Structure 1
Amino acid sequence: MTAITRLTVLIPEVEPAHWWQCARQNRSGAVIDRALRRHTDAVVRRLRMRS
């Protein structure tokens, strides 16, 4: 019998309080999310927190 290991990746992101602050926020969470989903079978969860 083989053991199944599931990798879960949590990516914290700050969600700006105002729409005009979106341009200043870094989008690296989305890039990491896409790369992990494309190249692994990891479960990826982006956690958005209001600033």
Structure 2
Amino acid sequence: MRENKQIWSDFIEEDRFELHSYLTYLFKQCHDENLRQLEDENIEE
């Protein structure tokens, strides 16, 4: 849970939320996860 709070605070600047930065972060996380799944599938074959 602490990690989630840290992540949110990384995208809040003064009184606004940096949506673009947050969406970019999410996209990278998703992309990394997909790459890991593909690597795992290739290893299993």
TM bracket, shorter-chain basis: 0.3 to 0.5
Higher helix share: 2
TM-score normalized with structure 1 length: 0.35
TM-score normalized with structure 2 length: 0.38
Higher strand share: 1
* Larger RCO of the pair (alpha carbons < 8 Å, separation 6+): 1
